[in-house]
Amino acid sequence: MQGTFLDAVDRIGGEPVAARMARKAPIRHLDPMLLLVTLLLSIFGAVMVFTATATKQETLGLDPSQYLKRQIAYAAAGALILLVVSFIDYRYVRALAPFLYGSGVIALLLVLTPLGDEAGGAQSWFNFGFFQVQPSEFAKVTTVVAVAAYLGERKGEIRVRDVAVVVLLVGLPSALIVIEPDFGSMLVFVALLAGLLLLGGAKIRHFVSLAMLGLIGIIIVLQAGFLQTYQIERITAFLDKDPDVQSEGWTLTQTKIAIASGGLNGKGLSEEKTQTTLDFVPEQHTDFIFTAIAEQLGFVGGAALLGLFALLLWRALRIATLSRDLFGTLVAGGIATMWVFQLFINVGMTMGIMPITGLTLPFVSFGGSSMVVNFLSVGLLLNIHMRRYL
Amino acid sequence: MSGFTKPTEEGRSVFGIDRLLLRLTVFGTIIVTIFVALFSRLWFLQVLEASEFRQLAKQNRTRLVESEPPRGLILDRNGRMLVRNRRSLSVTVDRQIVDTPKKTRKVLHRLSAQLDIPVKELKDNLQDEAVSPYKPVAVAVDVREKDEFYFEENGEDFPGVAVENLPVRTYPRKQMAAQLLGYVGEISPDLLDSDHYGSKRYRAGDIVGRDGIEYTYDRFIRGRPSLERVVVNSAGDVVDSDPRREERPGDDLYLTLDARIQKVTEKALASGIAAARAEYQAPSGGAVVMDPDNGEIIAMASYPTFNPSILADGYSKKDARKLGAATSEDNSDDRLLNRPVLGGFPPGSTFKVVTAGAAMWSGVASPSTFLGCPPSTVFPPGGGPGSVIFNNWTSADMGYMGFAESLEVSCDTFYYQLGWAMEEAYGAALGDESERFQDYMRIAGFGHETGIDLPYEAEGRVADEAWCEAYRDYFCPIGWLPGYTVNMAIGQGELITTPLQMAVTYAAIANGGRIVKPHLGMSLGRTDEAGEVEILKDFKAKTVRRLPLDEGELAPLQQGLVDVISGDQGTAASAFAGYPQGNFPVAGKTGTAQIGDVDSGLNYAWFTSYAPADDPEYVVVTYLEKAGHGGESAAPVARQIYEAIFKVDDDPNVGLSQDFSG
């Protein structure tokens, strides 16, 4: 071994500051695996959105690749935002947390005014002409950031008062979302509450009391009739073993038939006459896109998709553990919670083990807001990962 | 969490959080659990359950659709229309969509209001079990066009309701030949299992002939439906189709019936029954007109009758009641029953020609046999314990006579003696196989189907020792007795025949001994657009067997049958008084089969005949139930038929010959 100056410095345990700084430079600590998984999931989603919509578009005399083009545009916008978010140190984001949270809540308030638009029975959109924005998607991330910032400050000193603050922080946007009404998105906030409290240091007694309060709340809601009958029917439909034609349960039966008939290898993307392409499955490019995947690509395709999600969550969890501070851990944990919950509900409902709620499958379902928010979340994760030595 | 490298304070606290590592592990475990759940559910559905669901998916999206081709027409021998098709606007309800009592009530009430039909009636029709639950049921037929528009405009109020233009059979001659023609309807599971409809050509939901000619000739007149495999989407819209087979319309069927003679036969029967009702119950009857040479059925009537159009278009239960409530004890009101083919009755004295033939064939008599006609006979002769007295119908001793006179006066004791002689020489009591009287009956066409091209033909019954043993508990409590044979010799007792069997046996006497196969189907044809008829197939007449009698043996029987009408003592002489027997000589035989006491009127009145006697063209058999004597009730019906066939009233020679015969 040649005796150079640097070797000498190393041997005595010293290192030039510049070299040390260069070694810790964020750009050298990208998570290529996370980026690759994100890319693969997006491609997977784009292809499936195309096959799920092309036939129908064609029969309507429209551009068969219209949805594909839009999905690619959303992903490109998402990538841009990912880039921006990953270059701003996430600790600045922590400083901005109150502002971000506030804008999220204001957006949720505004969407309930005549400024917002209704679609699918929920007042949940802003229509900007060539694109639409769903504030509830963005509110998920702003809430994660806000709660992470708050709990990060507490450094594990969690008292009842802190739990109450967190409940309020999560409760305010979710209450606004219930008014829209968007029951599925509200459930994501409940999951976020649980996940963030777990990682933020809440005690077992806090969870027990919250669970009790939640139970009482559910009973009151059911008794007071805040929920429409159709909502209750929809939520409990997956428990119905012998559903009526044209009910929610029937939809479920059809999606189950679609998935199971895919078999091990699927029916292929080219064969036209499937449950999915014949419209037996509703919302096949958004909420029920997993059905299209499983029918056309079979167990192999479905398992591959789940595998990609497993990789994604492994990266998110790894970043949570590697984070330099508690705020980073909590943001990463919150994002992981959001993804795994949506995955479980979305895929679970198509297979009849979870209730039907209008939740998207991250990166795969067609939709601009959710696409941008998911890319933004990857940007945050990347940000935390890159700056774990600074 | 291999990447976890944070310094810990005794492994307990990171960033001030109690057991962050444990918390992350719990968090990770929850995620792993969720993935395990999703993977195993996916495996279960797609690998373990896949084949079952694959079938469901296929059923979901493909349907085999058949179109019902236009059914062939049914015409008489001269091309006169008996059955044709028309289109009927019908309201159908899909029971797969209207599948709950609540939905049914709602839809039926709305339908009732629009169509002005009681809910009850619609409901009865909807619950028709003859229609498969997967096919829409017609609940109302012949609705107005404005109803169709209404249902189209207000579709959302009428889920599962459709208006279809269904082909319906129509009967331009109303109730003519109703029981012969039969009717069409959806194939029932029983029919689908039957030999007749069991082939691959038929599947559930097909519209087929369910009775009569429509049943027998279904495979010719139905045509071949087109077949298409279609792919549908969730809304049931056809998105793709794959034609498998072209449609082929049904062939037209020409029957041997003559609409003119059919009409007069039905009229004669109805008026004969009306006349008999002056004195008797006379609830029902039947008549057959057949060509003795080839078995062509020229006319066949059954009374009471009905208009088949009520069965043609999804009839309601109300209509069905009009068809008569038949019970196993009493079918006298059953209008659907084709009595000449399905009815079984003792034939009475009309059977004596059979006894005579059997006696000559078996050798106990010859054409020149002379026997006495005493008021009564005792068997075994000489009396003694166990002997039975058999009386003639009159207490006068009519002296010795031959076969011809025995038929003319219808002497019972003459035939008792022949019956006894055959029983003694060849009967069951001898223990060998040769019951020659019964053997001859079977040759003459009794105890089995004649083979007519109509479904469900009755076999009748020839009583013999084997029958007696088989039904010992019901009919023969002490086993076979010679008395059974003696009774059968005059067409009484356990013997059962159908009017059609009688027609066949009289045709054999008329045509010199050939047993023909009666049939209604004459030919298949197709009329092209220019109106040209092309005959595709002729149904050939068949001689099934011969009677084992030569001309010398038939001659006294033929003479006797003429004398029944022409002779001074003839039992039908008064019924044919004034008939131009010289121009169109009739040979026939009356029969009065007792049910109870002869004079109670509860008799089967028969007249079996053919004409012209010297060159027979028509066999005519008439019978009336519970209507007195054959000579007084049945013979006049036959006379009316002959008069109409031969157009007696229009014939300029008739008056002349009447003067001669004076």
AA identity, residue B6: K
CATH of domain B348-538: 3.40.710.10
**Which residues, in sequence order, are bridge partners of residue B228?**
B65, B243
Closest CA to A239 of A152, A148, A356: A356
Q: Is A191 on the interface with B (CB under 8 A)?
A: no
Q: How many CB atoms lie within 10 A of CB B80?
A: 17
Highest mean pLDDT among A111-125, A217-231, B73-87: B73-87
pLDDT score recorded for residue B99 = 73
Report chain B residues whose CB lies below 8 A from the CB of A317: 1, 24, 27-28, 31
Six-digit token pair at A227?
């929920």
Closest CA to B276 of B301, B298, B303, B300: B303
Mean pLDDT of A316-323: 93
Q: Is the CB of A156 less than 8 angstroms away from the CB of B18?
A: yes
Q: Which residue of B has its CA nearest to A328?
A: B15
**Which residues, in sequence order, are bridge partners of residue B230?**
B63, B241
Residue B127 pLDDT class (50, 70, 90 cuts): confident
Report chain B residues whose CB lies below 8 A from the CB of A254: 60, 234
**Which residues, in sequence order, are bridge partners of residue B608?**
B589, B621
pLDDT at B135 over 70: no
Mean pLDDT of B123-144: 74
pLDDT score recorded for residue B414 = 96
Average the pLDDT over each of A35-49, A256-270, A356-370 and give the range with the smallest value: A256-270
pLDDT top residue among B168 and A297: A297
pLDDT score recorded for residue B654 = 64
Six-digit token pair at A248?
């929610």
Q: Is B39 on the interface with A (CB under 8 A)?
A: yes
Q: Is the CB of A261 less than 8 angstroms away from the CB of B23?
A: no
Among the partner-chain residues B39, B58, B97, the one whose CB lies closest to the CB of A303 is B39
- Please report the residues numbered 224 through 253 in chain A whose beta carbons come closer than 8 angstroms to any beta carbon of chain B: 244-245
Q: Buried (b) or exposed (e) across B455-491, using 16+ Cβ within 10 A? A: bebbebbbbbbebbeeeeeeebeeebbbbbbbbbbbb
Q: Enumerate residues 6+ apart whose C-beta is below 8 A from B508.
A: B292, B444, B445, B514, B515, B516, B546, B547
Mean pLDDT of chain B: 85
Mean pLDDT of A54-68: 83
pLDDT at B456 over 80: yes
ipTM computed for the complex: 0.90
Q: Which residue of A has its CA nearest to B1?
A: A318
Residue extents of the structural domains in chain A: 88-227
pTM assigned to the model: 0.62
pLDDT score recorded for residue B373 = 94
Among the partner-chain residues B35, B46, B61, the one whose CB lies closest to the CB of A273 is B61
**pLDDT tens digits, residue range B490-533?**
999 889 999 999 999 999 999 999 999 999 999 999 888 888 88
pLDDT score recorded for residue B1 = 39
Residue B17 pLDDT class (50, 70, 90 cuts): low
Cis peptide before B304 (omega within 30 of 0): yes
- Please report the residues numbered 352 through 371 in chain A whose beta carbons come closer than 8 angstroms to any beta carbon of chain B: 353
Average the pLDDT over each of A139-148, A275-284, B100-109, B452-461 and give the range with the smallest value: A275-284
Six-digit token pair at B461?
């019954």
pLDDT at A361 over 60: yes
Closest CA to B404 of B569, B550, B546: B569
d(CA A178, CA B140): 49
pLDDT at B16 over 70: no
Highest mean pLDDT among A111-115, B394-398, B429-433, B635-639: B635-639
**pLDDT tens digits, residue range B554-594?**
999 999 999 999 998 899 999 999 999 989 999 999 999 98
Report chain B residues whose CB lies below 8 A from the CB of A153: none
Q: Is B230 on the interface with A (CB under 8 A)?
A: no
Among the partner-chain residues A155, A298, A313, the one whose CB lies closest to the CB of B46 is A298
pLDDT score recorded for residue B580 = 92
Percent of chain B residues topping a pLDDT of 70: 87
Residue B11 pLDDT class (50, 70, 90 cuts): very low
Q: Is B278 on the interface with A (CB under 8 A)?
A: no
Q: Is the CB of A343 less than 8 angstroms away from the CB of B34?
A: yes
pLDDT at B328 over 70: no
Among the partner-chain residues B17, B18, B24, the one whose CB lies closest to the CB of A317 is B24
Residue B2 pLDDT class (50, 70, 90 cuts): very low
d(CA A371, CA A368): 5
d(CA B31, CA B23): 13
Mean pLDDT of A175-202: 90
Phi, psi dihedral angles at B187 (to 5 degrees): -65, 135
Q: Is B35 on the interface with A (CB under 8 A)?
A: yes
Q: Which residue of B has its CA nearest to A336?
A: B31
d(CA B54, CA A261): 4
pLDDT score recorded for residue A223 = 81
Mean pLDDT of A350-367: 87
Which H or E element spans position B13? strand B13-14
CA separation, residue B338 to residues A25, B191, B274 (Å): 104, 20, 19
pLDDT score recorded for residue A146 = 96
d(CA B570, CA B515): 27
CA dihedral B73, B74, B80, B85 (to 10 degrees): -40
Place of tokens 């014949």: A278
Q: Is A55 on the interface with B (CB under 8 A)?
A: no
Among the partner-chain residues B34, B42, B47, the one whose CB lies closest to the CB of A344 is B34
d(CA B216, CA B211): 8
The DSSP call for residue B599 is G
Among the partner-chain residues A195, A264, A279, the one whose CB lies closest to the CB of B46 is A264
**Coil, strand, or helix at residue A388?**
coil
Among the partner-chain residues A199, A259, A278, the one whose CB lies closest to the CB of B239 is A278
Mean pLDDT of chain A: 85
Percent of chain A residues topping a pLDDT of 90: 47
Residue B134 pLDDT class (50, 70, 90 cuts): low
Q: Which of A29, A256, A259 to mutate to test the interface with B (most CBs of B within 10 A)?
A: A259
pLDDT top residue among A25 and A187: A187
**pLDDT tens digits, residue range B29-46?**
999 999 999 999 999 988
Residue B659 pLDDT class (50, 70, 90 cuts): very low
Mean pLDDT of A193-209: 91
Q: Is B22 on the interface with A (CB under 8 A)?
A: no
Contact B241, B229 (CB under 8 A): yes
d(CA B57, CA A371): 32
Contact B151, B144 (CB under 8 A): no
To the nearest whole Å, the CA of B66 is away from the closest chain A CA by 21
d(CA B416, CA B405): 15
Report chain B residues whose CB lies below 8 A from the CB of A338: none
pLDDT score recorded for residue B329 = 55
**Coil, strand, or helix at residue A176?**
helix
**Coil, strand, or helix at residue A96?**
helix
For chain A, the first-to-last Cα distance in angstroms comes to 32
Which H or E element spans position A239? none
Which H or E element spans position A94? helix A90-112
d(CA B641, CA A65): 82
pLDDT at B233 over 70: no
Contact A312, A38 (CB under 8 A): yes
Among the partner-chain residues A264, A306, A325, the one whose CB lies closest to the CB of B39 is A306
Residue B5 pLDDT class (50, 70, 90 cuts): very low
Q: Is B5 on the interface with A (CB under 8 A)?
A: yes
Q: Is the CB of A263 less than 8 angstroms away from the CB of B234?
A: no
**pLDDT tens digits, residue range B599-627?**
666 889 999 999 999 999 999 999 999 99
Residue B413 pLDDT class (50, 70, 90 cuts): very high
Average the pLDDT over each of A122-126, A199-203, A319-323, B554-558 and give the range with the smallest value: A122-126
Angle in degrees, 0-180, between the axes of helices A135-154 and A183-200, rounded to the nearest 10: 20
Q: How many CB atoms lie within 10 A of CB B282?
A: 23
pLDDT score recorded for residue A318 = 94
Residue A225 pLDDT class (50, 70, 90 cuts): confident
Among the partner-chain residues A257, A318, A333, the one whose CB lies closest to the CB of B3 is A318
Contact B393, B377 (CB under 8 A): no
d(CA A385, CA A32): 11
- Please report the residues numbered 603 through 622 in chain B whose beta carbons come closer than 8 angstroms to any beta carbon of chain A: none
To the nearest whole Å, the CA of B3 is away from the closest chain A CA by 7
Residue A301 pLDDT class (50, 70, 90 cuts): very high
Q: Is A176 on the interface with B (CB under 8 A)?
A: no
The DSSP call for residue B46 is I
Q: How many CB atoms lie within 10 A of CB B432?
A: 9
Q: Is the CB of B38 less than 8 angstroms away from the CB of A344?
A: yes
pLDDT score recorded for residue B221 = 92
Mean pLDDT of A65-94: 92
Report chain B residues whose CB lies below 8 A from the CB of A322: 3-5
Which H or E element spans position B67? strand B62-67
pLDDT score recorded for residue B13 = 58
